[in-house]
Structure 1
Amino acid sequence: QCPDEDIPEFQNISRHRYFNTNTLWIRLDALKEILDANGGVLPLPMIRNKKTLNPRDPKSAPVYQLETAMGAGIECFPGARAVNVPRSRFFPVKTTSDLFLLRSDAIVVDEHGNVALAPERQGNTPVVDLDAKLYKLVDSLDGLGLPSLAGMDKLTLRGRFHFHDGAVLRGTLLMENDSDETKEILPGVYAGA
Structure 2
Amino acid sequence: VKTTADLLAVRSDAYELDSEFKLVLRPERNGVPPVVKLSDHYKLVDEFEPLIARGVPSLARCHSLTVEGKMVFEPNVEIVGEVKFVAPGEDTKTVAAGTYQNREVVL
> How far did 1:122 drift?
2.1
> Higher strand share goes to which structure?
2
Q: Which runs of 5+ in 1 are unaligned?
A: 1-92
Q: CA deviation at 1:129?
A: 0.6
What is the aligned partner in structure 2 of residue 157 from structure 1? Answer: 67
Shift of 1:102: 0.9
4+ residue runs over 6 A deviation:
none
The CA distance in 2 between the partners of 1:128 and 1:162, in whole Å, is 15
> Which structure has the larger Rg over C-alpha atoms?
1
| 1:166 Cα offset (Å) | 0.4
Q: How many residues align?
A: 100
CA distance in 2: counterparts of 1:121 and 1:160, whole angstroms: 29
Larger relative CO (CA 8 A, sep 6+): 1 or 2? 2
Aligned position for 1:178? 88
Cα displacement (A) at 1:113: 2.4
RMSD: 1.2
TM norm structure 2: 0.86
> Normalization by structure 1: what TM-score?
0.49
Correspondent of 2:34 among 107, 118, 126: 126
Task: Report the residue type matching 2:24 in the other structure.
Answer: A
Identity %: 39
